[in-house]
Amino acid sequence: MTDPGVVTVNLLVGRNKSGKPIFEEVPVEPVPGSTGVRVLATPGMVLNVAAGDVIEVDRECGSFTTLIRGGNVGAHVFADHELVDRFMSVIEAAGGRLDGRDEGLSSFTVPYGSGVVELEKIFNQIVAADPEAEWYFSNVFADDGTPLNWWL
C-alpha cells in the first residue's frame, strides 16, 4: 500500500521453500470497542477472508482469526487484465467490485446473495475466452475443500 493514510496489516500467505514467511499487506480499519480490524479490500493471496470481515491479527506472525463475517464473497481471477476488463461492466452490474490487481490476478468482492451466481457465470465466461485463465472463490472453502458455510 502506498497511501500513507491507510492502515494496513501484514497477513500470512504461507511460506516459501526455505520456510520464510510470505505476507500480504491488507488495508483495514480499527473496530471501536474491539481488538479486531475490519478488512477493507479482499486480499489477492490470503485465503478465507474478504472485505468486510472483522478479524483479529497476531501481528508477530500474521495469522488471523475471523471474528465476524462481513457477508461478502472474495473471488480471485487469474487472467490477462485486458480480458478481465472486457467483462468489468457486467461484473459491476452484478454487484462485484475490483479490489486489487497484481500481475495476472484480479481480486474481487461480491456481496453474498446479490450476484454470486451471476458472477460465477461471468467468471466462467472469462475462462471460456481463455483456457489458461482460472478463477475461484477465496473464502468459500476450507483448505481441505469443504464448504466453510459461513453464509448459512
Of 57, 39, 59, 58, nearest to 49 by C-alpha is 39
Q: For the chain, what are the domain ranges?
A: 7-68, 72-137
Q: Residue 115: what pLDDT?
A: 67
Place of cell 478479524: 55
Q: What pLDDT, on the 0 to 100 scale, is given for residue 2?
A: 53
Q: What is the mean pLDDT of each run of 10 residues along the chain (152 residues)?
A: 78 95 96 95 96 95 95 95 95 92 95 81 94 94 87 82
Predicted TM-score (pTM) of the model is 0.90
* Distance separating alpha carbons of residues 111 and 116, to the nearest angstrom: 7
**Alpha-carbon separation of residue 65 from 35, 79, 126, 129 (angstroms):** 11, 30, 33, 37
pLDDT at residue 117, as a whole number: 83
15, burial (CB in 10 Å: exposed 0-12, middle 13-18, buried 19+): exposed
Share of the chain residues as helix, strand and coil, in percent rounded to the nearest 5 = 15, 40, 45
User: What is the assigned CATH class of domain 72-137?
Assistant: alpha beta
